[in-house]
Amino acid sequence: QVQLVESGGGLVQPGGSLRLSCAVSGSIFSIYQMGWYRQAPGKQRELVAHITSDGSTNYADSVKGRFTISRDKNIVYLQMNSLKPEDTAVYYCNAYTRSADYWGQGTQVTVSS
């Protein structure tokens, strides 16, 4: 069992920055990959970034060079810089294990002037 709790969302101006946090608890040893997804109104949930157990990372083309995923102890971060209005979405933390795919409750990010 894995529990994920996101925080750090909010309202930010275009060009600004936010750092999302995902607190991880439970059977952490069973996690092979963690990621951040987002879902904007009327759109499918999409992968933003993921990080594997060996530390390798991948990013969606739309956020590459602006967002950074990292992990420190029991927290996974998504540092978001140079934010654009099209980044507005609910952001979800995800963890892959052998037996299940776990999700946090989501945190709203709104980029607007």
Spatial distance between the Cα atoms of 113 and 69, rounded to a whole number of angstroms:
25
pLDDT in tens, 14-66: 999 999 999 999 988 889 999 999 999 999 999 999 999 889 999 999 999 99
CB crowding 57-96: b at 16 or more within 10 Å, else e: eebeeebeeebbbebeeeebbbebeebeeebbbbbbbbbb
Spatial distance between the Cα atoms of 32 and 52, rounded to a whole number of angstroms:
6
Decide if pLDDT at 73 tops 90: no
What pLDDT is stored for residue 8 in this prediction?
Answer: 97
| Cβ atoms within 10 Å of 33's Cβ, excluding its own | 15
pLDDT in tens, 74-86: 999 999 999 999 9
Q: How far is CA 94 from the centre of its chain?
A: 7
What pLDDT is stored for residue 83 in this prediction?
Answer: 98
